[in-house]
Amino acid sequence: MSLQDVAREERLDWKAVKEHHKRYMEEQLRRAEAINPKAIGIDEISVRKGHTYRIVVSDLERRRPIWFGGHDRSVASMDQFWAYLGPKKAAKVGLCVMDMWPPFEMSATKNAPQAAILYDKFHVIRKLSEALDDVRRYEYRRVSGKERSYIKGQRYNLLSNRENLSLNGQDSLAKLLAANKRLNTAYLLKEQFGRLWDYRQEAAARRFFENWKASLRWQRLRSFEKFAAMIERHWDGIAAYCRPENKVSLGFVEGLNNKIRVFQRKAYGLRDEDYLRLRVLTCTLPDFFTD
């Protein structure tokens, strides 16, 4: 329920409800176990329009957010987290999972040089989906008539996981892929690339990537070629997932981002950033009850 819903049901002023909720969340944090992460996930969220960002850091083993702060996505803002954690605890961090934003890696390398860097699988796949969408837009402009009708309105079906589609969605996708050879090729390449994270040895993962990259030849898929070049530049941070010690759940940060977007929708128009910070930091903590 939103603050307004609770206020309406309890016949209270919504500002009073918010302040009560903040005190409750502060008590949740006070009762929570000490922060001492070994594997962390780093991501940013947009807090308002105009590219205003805050950084969220999570303990991936305990599956809880542990820090919300910074003023942007800079090295200086990321350094604030490491200052909060302190050098002793920073020295115990063995893994940092992040997107391919250079300031995050620069700060981690400076403050926790012993930690392995692992690029978030979901961020990589999102980049590949963008490459597929570029092919869709190009093909829509290139063809006309009935061929274009197969593409129109199919962005969701093309970019979603097939198992998440309705029967009608799956049928429309099948018709699209049958009608457009280039989109079919691009779609299959995207699906195949997801197997990269199944490998447990870096050498095998590298062979898979080389074979995947070779399959791009003569396909005239420029956006996929750019994606392959990006993977090449960031290979070490992607292949790090092959190492047994780096096998952590990569879905937690993505799920947390979805939760945060729900918080923001429910608190639309609320400019109390400290309230959002508390909602984020307590969203996985257990409830408590008082007499």
Q: Which domain holds residue 235?
A: 121-243
pLDDT in tens, 202-244: 999 999 999 999 999 999 999 999 999 999 999 999 999 888 8
What are the angstrom distances between the C-alpha of 270 and each of 12, 25, 217, 274?
17, 17, 51, 11
Phi, psi torsion values for 126, nearest 5 degrees: -65, -40
> Do 20 and 87 lie in a common domain?
yes
Give the pLDDT score at 11: 67
Residue 55 near residue 69 (C-beta atoms within 8 A): yes
Give the pLDDT score at 266: 67
> Do 108 and 155 lie in a common domain?
no
> Do 104 and 205 lie in a common domain?
no
pLDDT in tens, 165-188: 999 999 999 999 999 999 999 999
Residue 64's domain is classified under what CATH number? Answer: 3.30.420.10
Average pLDDT, the chain: 89
Where are any strands of DSSP class E within the chain?
Answer: 39-48, 52-59, 64-69, 95-98, 116-119
Give the pLDDT score at 259: 81
Report if residue 88 sits inside a domain: yes
As given in the structure block, the two tokens for residue 58 are 């999570």
Q: Where are the alpha helices (DSSP H) in 46-101?
A: 75-85, 87-90
Give the pLDDT score at 221: 96
As given in the structure block, the two tokens for residue 146 are 């009935």
> Do 32 and 43 lie in a common domain?
yes
Report if residue 291 sits inside a domain: no
> Do 90 and 178 lie in a common domain?
no
State pTM to two decimals: 0.83
pLDDT in tens, 3-52: 666 666 666 676 777 788 889 899 999 999 999 999 999 988 888 776 78
The CA angle 207-209-214, to the nearest 5 degrees, is: 95
> Do 140 and 186 lie in a common domain?
yes
The CA angle 218-208-217, to the nearest 5 degrees, is: 5
> Do 134 and 229 lie in a common domain?
yes
Q: Classify each residue of 256-285 as buried b or exposed e, where b means 16 or more C-beta atoms within 10 Å of its C-beta.
A: beeebeebbeebeebeeeebbbbbbbbbbe
**Domain tally for the chain?**
2
pLDDT in tens, 246-272: 877 777 777 887 887 787 776 655 677
As given in the structure block, the two tokens for residue 98 are 């992040």
Give the pLDDT score at 9: 66
> How far apart (Å, rounded) are the C-alpha atoms in residues 279 and 261?
11
> Do 153 and 220 lie in a common domain?
yes
Percent of the chain with pLDDT over 70: 92
